[in-house]
Amino acid sequence: MNNHSHLLTSLNPAQRQAVLCSDGPVLILAGAGSGKTRVLTHRVAYLLEQKGVKPWQILAVTFTNKAANEMKERILQLSNGGGREAWIGTFHSICARILRAEAERLGYGKNFLIFDREDQKRFIKNVMNELNVSEKDFQPEAILNAISGAKNAFVSSSEYQAIAKAPFEYTVARIYPLYQSLLKQNNVMDFDDLLVNPLFLFQQYPEVLEHYQNKFSYILVDEFQDTNRTQYIFLKYLSGRHKNLCVVGDDDQAIYRWRGADIQNILSLEKDFPECKIFHLEQNYRSTRSILNAANSIVKNNQFRREKTLWTEKEDGEKVTILELDDAFSEALTIIGVIKDELVENGRNFSDFAILYRTNAQSRVLEDALRQAAIPYVVVGSVKFYERKEIKDVLAYLRLICNANDSISFKRVINFPLRGIGDASVLKLEEFAKAHAISLLAAAARVEEVNAIAPRIRKSIFEFQQLIAKYASLRRELSAGELAQTLVDEIGILRAFKEINTEESFSRMENVRELLLAIANYAKSNKGSNLETFLEEVALLTDIDTWDDQSNAVTLMTLHSAKGLEFPVVFITGLEEGLFPLSRTFDDIADLEEERRLFYVGTTRAQEKLFISWAAVRPRFGDSFHNLPSRFLKELDPQFIERKNLRRLYHFRSEKPVAEEMVKNEEDDLRDGYSQIVLGGEVKHELFGVGKVIKLEGRGENMKVNVRFYDVGEKRLVVKYANLEVLH
Ligand code: ATP
Ligand code: MG
């Protein structure tokens, strides 16, 4: 069998048609698990093998690095290695690659750095200071979000100025241009600039646009429903000449509206490319019939969607199980019980399981329980290795070595490890730098001229500058791994952590070692790499990339991270009003529909078994909330679900305790101090202050009270979690 027939026989007729229709614009709009990603990878292999397209003429884009790597692997496999030189990556990495080559035209250096959110916030604060905008009036985070939103909608600072109409927007309009020029001064781009700057480039330099338009004869995009305006325009530009743009997506899985994704792009595509061929795939290959039908019964509650059919040849399978639980802790224990049963009875691996949740904070209880049960697990996203302080400190050194203009990194490490250089001295150095229009590092080289700084400190600053200069010149002679290792040795931070000699400092030491290992491994496995490319890679890491899917472990992640993935057994936790759907979404139908799509994404990750849980009590923001089950649970078609009520503790109203239990409860009450809480008594709560107990219910662990707090009014609390102090 030659590759040609092999490529096509593993597809169903609709999928095959979509692959064969290789020229001209194509939109593949289809439900979850219908083989969209599969069509995309087969299409690339088909272009390479059958159409004689060269790999470097192909651009394939998706949203996470993980998805991009998976795509790359699948394409390499299908094309027997033929696709190695295709451009396959995330929007951000593809744009960064173009900008690396062209940034100078826009007034940046080629070695520009990429800022993460924390760095961005610091710049915003700088500008706010300069403009005398108080953080009491406007939150830097909110301003940053507004600017980011504008960039994702391809609204420049001058355009923003023209359309601002509320006080907050006027403030943003003043900050936006200054923030932008501060970035440029420091030779830095933020994440959004990576997407926006190529568009400016294409607008200002038609010959550059033409070059890339000619180069990419075939462009393919996965998860198209989550592209924002800027990304859409980018695609439109690049496909302008050949018009071989193939996008796949599912409007029911659009979950990034809050980050500027625009589902209207699907409509725009049909308008901008009237000759666009549309394909629908209707067979789902991923899930059992029960799971698929349950998922369909949810999403059909959305008003704003395109109707579509999705069916499966698979068997019914087990019904979807709804677990009703007392609290987050029993939720975790119940999930662990199911995992253990499945391991024994169905011979599964740990890696067959995924536990999904709406908010990151939900992972901690699950993690604790998994650890105690000795079940290996990985948390996607929460590890955030590269956001730890010690890691950022070392990275700041490396950034400064690569980019002398990086004032943020300069300030981060000028006194790390301690060199006796205080903020006041740095401020004076900054004034000098400003007066001479030079970078902080250049100012440090001339620190002798800054008389306002004490001679001893001048010496330290000068030594620091010499250190950085030395490594900057060694950069071309040493590998990235050697350079980082030597630098860390020279500045002695490992030793410093060791001297502190606490558990925390040891873990920091381990983290820095881990970083050195990561750099060394990176240098080894990426030919032609250097420190800059490593730093770029780090800056582009998204949450999903910390996931080591090779290890045999249960996966924990947010529903957003689970997009595009599949697992034999899936748990979706925390189906409670206020948590999922998240409470901010109650008033806005569009927000609520997005939450529902997110639930749909979660349910359609499951291949064989799906468990959905809700807990009556869940501590949030340090307080306990008494929850109602999520409205989404009522929307699930009862035919395809089975409810398991595992609630025991909080059924005090309907269940009268037997005498024996009453005695036991009395004892518990005395031991735990519950009995000290009496009707009419005063109690104190950490957050709410002092109040009077106006209602008591249940006993012992189950005891709940209504307290009328003098400051904040009536609250209903579970005594066990509320940590009340009895005043009398
Ligand atoms: P999502 O909407 O979640 O991104 P998708 O539409 O991209 O899903 P894929 O991930 O491509 O779907 O496919 C889902 C599963 O079905 C995969 O395991 C894939 O290998 C399998 N599959 C798809 N098409 C076929 C087919 N024709 N024959 C066998 N298996 C298939
Ligand atoms: Mg997919």
606 Cα distance to chain centroid: 21
544 pLDDT higher than 60: no
What is the pLDDT averaged over residues 69-73? 88
Q: 566-605: b or e for each residue (b if 16 or more CB lie within 10 Å)?
A: bbbbbbbbbbbbbbbbbeebeeeeebbbbbbbbbbbbbbb
What is the pLDDT averaged over residues 699-709? 77
658 pLDDT higher than 70: no
DSSP 144-161: HHHHHHHHHTT--HHHHH
Q: Which residue's C-alpha comes closest to atom 2 of ligand 1?
A: 32
Cβ-based neighbour number of residue 701 at 10 Å: 17
Ion ligand 2 — residues with CB < 5 Å: 36-37, 564
- CA pseudo-torsion sign 717, 358, 259, 269: negative
What is the structure's pLDDT at 715? 81
What is the pLDDT averaged over residues 35-54? 95
Question: Is the C-beta atom of 38 inside 6 A of ligand 1?
Answer: yes
Q: Which residue's C-alpha comes closest to atom 16 of ligand 1?
A: 285
Lowest mean pLDDT among 102-111, 537-546, 609-618: 537-546
590 pLDDT higher than 80: yes
Query: Contact, 53 vs 625, CB < 8 A?
Result: no
What is the pLDDT averaged over residues 367-373? 82
Among the bound ligands, the one closest to the CA of 30 = 1
pLDDT grade for 236, boundaries at 50, 70 and 90:
very high
What is the pLDDT averaged over residues 566-595? 87
660 pLDDT higher than 50: no
Highest-confidence segment of 195-209, 474-488, 710-724? 195-209
Ligand 1 center from residue 287 Cα (angstroms): 10
Q: Which residue's C-alpha comes closest to atom 19 of ligand 1?
A: 35
Ligand 2 center from residue 287 Cα (angstroms): 14
Question: Is the C-beta atom of 36 inside 6 A of ligand 1?
Answer: yes
Structure tokens at 165: 């109409």
650 pLDDT higher than 60: no
Cα–Cα distances (Å) from 473 to 402, 414, 476, 477, in that order, read: 10, 19, 7, 8
680 pLDDT higher than 90: no
What is the structure's pLDDT at 673? 47
Structure tokens at 214: 């000619």
Ligand 2 center from residue 34 Cα (angstroms): 8
Cβ-based neighbour number of residue 144 at 10 Å: 21
Among the bound ligands, the one closest to the CA of 29 = 1
What is the pLDDT averaged over residues 355-373? 83
Q: 288-316: b or e for each residue (b if 16 or more CB lie within 10 Å)?
A: bbbbbbbbbbbbbbbeebeebebebebee
What is the structure's pLDDT at 405? 94
Ligand 2 center from residue 18 Cα (angstroms): 15
What is the structure's pLDDT at 721? 72
Ligand 1 center from residue 35 Cα (angstroms): 3
Query: Contact, 396 vs 487, CB < 8 A?
Result: no
Ligand 1 center from residue 667 Cα (angstroms): 58
284 pLDDT higher than 80: yes
What is the pLDDT averaged over residues 619-634? 76
Higher pLDDT, 422 or 323: 323
Q: Which residue's C-alpha comes closest to atom 8 of ligand 1?
A: 33
What is the structure's pLDDT at 207? 97
CA 357, 37, 92 angle in degrees (round to 5)? 70
Query: Parallel, antiparallel, or unpaired for β 704-709 and 689-697?
Result: antiparallel
Q: Which residue's C-alpha comes closest to atom 4 of ligand 1?
A: 564
Residue type, position 391, single letter:
I
383 pLDDT higher than 80: no
Ligand 1 center from residue 173 Cα (angstroms): 45
The closest-lying atom of ligand 1 relative to the alpha carbon of residue 32 is: 2
Can you name the residues that pair with 228 across neighbouring β-strands?
Answer: 261
456 pLDDT higher than 50: yes
Q: Which residue's C-alpha comes closest to atom 14 of ligand 1?
A: 33
In angstroms, rounded to a whole number, what is the distance separating the alpha carbons of residues 192 and 185? Answer: 17
The closest-lying atom of ligand 1 relative to the alpha carbon of residue 250 is: 2
What is the structure's pLDDT at 495? 86
What is the structure's pLDDT at 689? 81
Question: Is the C-beta atom of 250 inside 6 A of ligand 1?
Answer: yes
Secondary structure of 181-196 in HEC code, one letter for each residue: HHHHHCCEEEHHHHHH
652 pLDDT higher than 50: no
Q: Which residues are catalytic?
A: 36-37, 222-223, 253, 605
What is the structure's pLDDT at 663? 35
Question: Is the C-beta atom of 11 inside 6 A of ligand 1?
Answer: yes
pLDDT grade for 659, boundaries at 50, 70 and 90:
very low
Q: What is the mean pLDDT of the chain?
A: 87
Indicate yes or no: pTM above 0.85.
no
Q: Which residue's C-alpha comes closest to atom 24 of ligand 1?
A: 35
Of 39, 286, 565, which is best to mutate to test ligand 1, by the most ligand atoms within 8 angstroms of its C-beta?
286
What is the pLDDT averaged over residues 587-595? 85
Ligand 2 center from residue 557 Cα (angstroms): 18
Question: Is the C-beta atom of 35 inside 6 A of ligand 1?
Answer: yes
Question: Is the C-beta atom of 312 inside 6 A of ligand 1?
Answer: no
The closest-lying atom of ligand 1 relative to the alpha carbon of residue 605 is: 3
DSSP-assigned letter for residue 629: B
Q: Which residue's C-alpha comes closest to atom 13 of ligand 1?
A: 35
Can you name the residues that pair with 245 across neighbouring β-strands?
Answer: 219
Question: Is the C-beta atom of 314 inside 6 A of ligand 1?
Answer: no
128 pLDDT higher than 80: yes
Give the model confidence (pLDDT) of 663-678 as tens digits: 344 334 433 445 577 7
476 Cα distance to chain centroid: 34
What is the pLDDT averaged over residues 293-322? 92
Higher pLDDT, 654 or 225: 225
14 pLDDT higher than 60: yes
Phi then psi for residue 516, to 5 deg, are -60, -40
Q: Is 89 exposed, middle or buried (0-12, 13-18, 19+ CB in 10 A)?
A: buried
* Angle separating helix axes 91-102 and 191-204, nearest 10 degrees: 50
Of 17, 19, 37, which is best to mutate to test ligand 1, by the most ligand atoms within 8 angstroms of its C-beta?
37
701 pLDDT higher than 80: no
Ligand 2 center from residue 318 Cα (angstroms): 24
pLDDT grade for 618, boundaries at 50, 70 and 90:
confident
Q: Which residue's C-alpha comes closest to atom 30 of ligand 1?
A: 285
In angstroms, rounded to a whole number, what is the distance separating the alpha carbons of residues 159 and 156? Answer: 5
Which distant-in-sequence residues (6+ apart) come within 8 Å of 436 by Cβ? 443, 446
Of 280, 285, 287, which is best to mutate to test ligand 1, by the most ligand atoms within 8 angstroms of its C-beta?
285
pLDDT grade for 334, boundaries at 50, 70 and 90:
very high
